[in-house]
Amino acid sequence: MEKSKVLVVGGTGYLGRRIVSASLSQGHPTYVLQRPEIGLDIDKVQILLAFKKQGAHLVEGSFSDLESLVRAVKLVDVVICPMSGVHIRSHNILLQLQLVEAIKKAGNIKRFLPSEFGFDPARMGHALEPGRVTFDDKMVVRKAIQDAKIPSTYVCGAGFAGYLAVNLSQMGTLVPPKEKVLIYGDGNAKVSIVDEDDIAAYTIKTIDDPRTLNKTLYLRPPENELSQKQLVEMWENLIGKKLEHISISEEDFLASMKGMDYAGQVGAGHFYHMFYEGALTNFEIGEEGEEASKLYPEVKYTRMNEYIKIYA
């Protein structure tokens, strides 16, 4: 079967550039939207040029110019939009409404994968303010997709390893603690932690797979469903040293959020749902979804005991 042509919108971002690489490596004709708003951001320009050298096609388009998006969309079969919804970077979820409009107008797209990848927003109606804005915005985009009758796949369920693994899930740092580690509650809530390269590989696997059409693909590889205590124990065994464990109760954690700025409160709210509720893993996957590692056993996903060795 001929491989679908893919347009990645947000292809220079943290996850987007991995999705472009995965698309190229899996043999898909790959297009990357080049937005004029890139301006003098030399890092992004160089990422785009590197992709061009690898065989990707750069196509110009802007969210402020609907017709330019329509032209870009008409070149491909599948659109993937891993735009940031993380406030410490940027929060652009609702920009996708313009992309939905372009896909609707173009009329040729057989699959759209919007910006999801973390919590399943359909399960987060109870989420704390202000962090719930991420989930509310994603549900607005989902409704627009459904109203426009655009075929879709939602890729959900992963805690990004770069933000949660090596730092032992400590907030405010991305490197491992040296002496003390903060444990959320009893530290036993399970979190699905996935290498971002594996997230990208699974994402690209879905696009020509009828089993994932109009479904949610959950990223829950079983060996990477870990509690914080298990993650800390892995690290302690690796370095041959026991850290001081400091437990923070649910009440104290929620109280600590009050002194944070807006972006900090958003992030802390997400940590709360992850580590006190286990919201990435505290449900059974029903008929609405599939689990990535079961569908695609050929993806040899990175286990976290291997992932964290880089800092040992």
Active-site annotation, residues: 138
Long-range contacts formed by 221-226: CB under 8 A, 24+ apart: 221/192, 221/194, 221/292, 221/293, 221/301, 222/293, 223/301, 223/303, 224/192, 224/193, 224/194, 224/301, 224/303, 224/304, 225/190, 225/191, 225/192, 225/281, 226/190, 226/191, 226/193, 226/304
Do you find a cis peptide bond into 151, omega within 30 degrees of 0?
no
- Three-state DSSP class for 229? helix
Q: What backbone phi and psi angles, to 5 degrees, belong to 108?
A: -115, -5
Decide if 276 contacts 268 (C-beta within 8 A).
Answer: no
